[in-house]
Amino acid sequence: GGSVLAYDSRAQAPAAILDVTGGSTRLSSVSSSGLRLAVGVSDGTASLYDIRSPVAVTTHDHKQGTPVHSVEIHSSGRVISGDETSIRCWNDDGSLFFAVQTPKTLSHVTHYPGTSLLIAPHSGVLYICV
């Protein structure tokens, strides 16, 4: 496990230290409010944190056995996460909203802000509207 440190640029010390279990972190996303942080982990999970608490609000297991390489917080509050072969969108309570298995290896997943368009590059580009 490890930690994610959140800093306020006006202070020298971390504003929050979040305990991440399961391996190294891959990529993180901050909500528009600045209070929620999503983290992808090398053990195949993604976690959602409220930076006012050191432990995860919820953790979603991709159940693929591969690292979660992409994670973003959508404006709806849902979390979008991706590993090599799947894209998952889940609610802030950890329940699955939808999942897509992909025929190709994905290198990243992102969404176009303010829309439901997801973009996931592989040998071409895969566009998924949710």
Q: What is the CATH number of the domain that holds 75?
A: 2.130.10.10
72: its two tokens: 């973003």
- Assess contact for 59 and 47: CB atoms under 8 A: yes
Q: What does the alpha-carbon distance between residue 74 and residue 76 come to, in Å, rounded to a whole number?
A: 5
93: its two tokens: 């309570």
> What pLDDT, in 10s, does the model give residues 76-125?
899 999 999 999 999 988 899 999 988 888 888 888 888 888 888 876 66
Predicted TM-score of the model (pTM)? 0.82
Output the DSSP codes for 39-77.
EEETTSEEEEEETTSSS-SEEEE--SSS---EEEE-TTS
Give the residue numbers spanning the domain of 76.
2-129
Give the total number of structural domains in the chain: 1
Contacts of residue 15, defined as CB under 8 A and 6 or more positions apart, other chains included, come to 6, 7, 8, 51
Q: What's the average model confidence in pLDDT over 41-62?
A: 89
